[in-house]
Amino acid sequence: MSDDLIKKKYNKKIKLLNNYNKKYYDQNISEVSDTIYDNLKREIINLEKKYNFLKSLNSPQVNVGYKPSKNFKKIAHRAPMLSLANAFNEDDLINFEKKIINFLNKKKDYQIEYSAEPKIDGISASLIYKNGKFITGLSRGDGKEGEDITENLKTIKDIPPSILNKNFPQEIDIRGEVFIKNSDFKKLTNKFANPRNAASGSLRQKDSKETKKIPLNFIAYTFGHERGLKIETQNEFLEKLEMWGFKTNPFNKTIKGIKNLIKNYNDIEKKRDELDFDIDGIVYKINNFGLQKRLGNIANAPRWAIAHKFSANSSISKIKKIEIQIGRTGALTPVAKIKPVNIGGVVVSNATLHNEDEINRKDIRIGDTVLIERAGDVIPHVISVDLNLRDKNSKKFIFPKNCPSCGSKTVKDFNLTTKKEDSVRRCSRDGYECEKMAIEKIKHFVSKEALNIEGFGKKIVEKFWDLKLIRLPQDIFKLDFNKIENLEGWGQLSVANLKYSIELRKNISFEKFIFALGIRHIGLENAKLLSKNLKSLKNFLSLSNKNNLYELLNIDGIGETQINSIKNFFLSKTNLKVLRDLEKVLKVNDAKIQKVDGKLNNKTFMLTGKLEGMSRAEAKSLIEENSGSIVSNVSKKLDYLITGDKPTKRKVDSAKEMNVQILTQSEWLKMLNKTT
């Protein structure tokens, strides 16, 4: 792979990580699970190790967290707040210890003593004490400087305003975690998504009087800058913290040996559901401060500590009933309504059962006691059924053969590729003929990636449907705002804002318009492909003529499945009416003209076989960046067939028959003056 492509791949990962950090640290949103986030960090670090020309200020080896909010004064940490490397299994811990022993030049049988401390899933804070008084409190920020949240931290009873103990250092930054107990969070579920969000949102209040109303807690576990601290080990420091009036984690332990660390890890993980606060792993620190000092840090993480992450969060609950939800494409999704249970800081009362086949395979029934898993912010799902606890009178769940919304027959599509029926059962009616499908299609139409009408969320769609204000997408643009203004919860200002948002979205890009229609199998990427190739709404509308549909086969990424979906879409009289009416009220902008001055201008390419050091997507992107275009079928319109390892014989033979020039990967890259 060329250096340019490596840099491009690296920068994409850095950008993605930075977005996740912004969501998590600045907006209190966990957009992905810890596993996905940790894997992305490892991929970036591995790339940096492999290619020394890759560098970024946002690298996880350089940066911690996210830049402080502009809402608060920024203050530099007197000692940086570092992040921790992660361990996920016993092998990771063995390697961690080996590196320490090698670095310290100790014998293989050297016994390291660890302080094992359960990692609370809260908000990190640093408390600056001078002469026994709490002076300033900072958030983590980006690890180098944090937000001044002193007044909010002063409302927490666990944080001593002053410490009179003679052994207390002259200066010290006490560090720990701000969190909300799960029992206290039950009273706040209508305001926040989970305890961590509640803690973060409370600390970011501009008015500390509002923060005081939230039952925040603080557990101390380490220190940053210090002057006058006279102790030698971490466990001694934890004892001092309690003596000084701070709370520490009651499950902290001093342990020797990897096997004992694993045993403690398993014991703590079993107790997670019993705890009144959320933990997401255990932090292991070299207990001896002298050894910590010798080991030092690697970039933004200490060599002497590691976080052993827990597996995906799970819990036991009971299924009260099973409901069938209908999506915009008619898919029937079974959802288990369960006895509410706290999983990973979120109170869960619904769990997806995926589809009919999944219910039958696991034999899931109403009244069953089940294991529910929730990893990060993904939808909770049922892992297994405890058959020992099943009621003797339990009855097998029968999946409906008719749509619960409109009563139409439900069907399973036959997959031509797998030669099997799909696992998903669907309503057989056209989209807008089934009430539930119609509602979901309108929700999709106004969603962020489609028209993105601000203030027109899912609940508004449902309310306007119930009031018979909308039935089709075009109804949004002829709403009776006088009637809406008289509804409960609405007024002149909110109506004016909604009206403005709707007017603003009357001007829309061609690709977003296609996506907003909610055609099955046409996601955002396929909408982009169609937009780029069809150029205009006029050309899209011409697809209602069946003879024009097969021109789409020349668009790489658009296959028979997508074409059949588009064909079915245009067969519906309601869909044609929707298109005609929307054409009158919307300004759908033509697709942007592709760059035409690249080295591959006016040339068409097709790929077959596995490329060396480059994904198919990267190759396509490179062709398009240089003004070339991609086709998916060998025809007279094809200029070059690029072959990788094990190309499809049929495609190569067809290219030869049509005198299409066949290129190896190296020959193609020479056209771009690039090498693999």
Residues taking part in catalysis:
119
The H-or-E segment that residue 348 falls in is strand 346-352
DSSP, residue by residue, 597-663 = -STTTT-EEEEESBPSSS-HHHHHHHHHHTT-EE-SS-STT--EEEE-BS--HHHHHHHHHTTPEEE
Quote the CA–CA distance of 599 and 542 in Å, as a whole number. Answer: 32
Quote the CA–CA distance of 64 and 433 in Å, as a whole number. Answer: 52
Q: Is 291 left (phi over 0), alpha (psi -120 to 50) or beta?
A: alpha
Report angle CA 348, 350, 355 to the nearest 5 degrees.
140
Quote the CA–CA distance of 643 and 650 in Å, as a whole number. Answer: 12
Place of tokens 């020797």: 256
Quote the CA–CA distance of 192 and 209 in Å, as a whole number. Answer: 18
Closest CA to 518 of 458, 447, 466: 447
DSSP, residue by residue, 426-488 = EE-S-GGGSHHHHHHHHHHHHSTTTT--TT--HHHHHHHHHTTS-SSGGGGGG--HHHHHTST
Give 222's strand partners: 175
Closest CA to 277 of 158, 165, 418: 158
Quote the CA–CA distance of 355 and 365 in Å, as a whole number. Answer: 13
Whole-angstrom CA distances from 108 to 203, 288, 304 are 46, 18, 17
Q: Cβ atoms within 10 A of the Cβ of 304, count? A: 24
Q: In the numeric block, which tokens belong to residue 529? A: 């492909």
The dihedrals phi and psi of 389, each to the nearest 5 degrees, come to -100, 5
Quote the CA–CA distance of 449 and 443 in Å, as a whole number. Answer: 11
Quote the CA–CA distance of 206 and 10 in Å, as a whole number. Answer: 38
The dihedrals phi and psi of 217, each to the nearest 5 degrees, come to -125, 160
Q: Is 568 helix (H, G, I), strand (E, B) or coil?
A: helix
Residue 226 neighbours by CB under 8 Å, 6+ apart:
169, 171, 172, 173
Quote the CA–CA distance of 87 and 284 in Å, as a whole number. Answer: 10
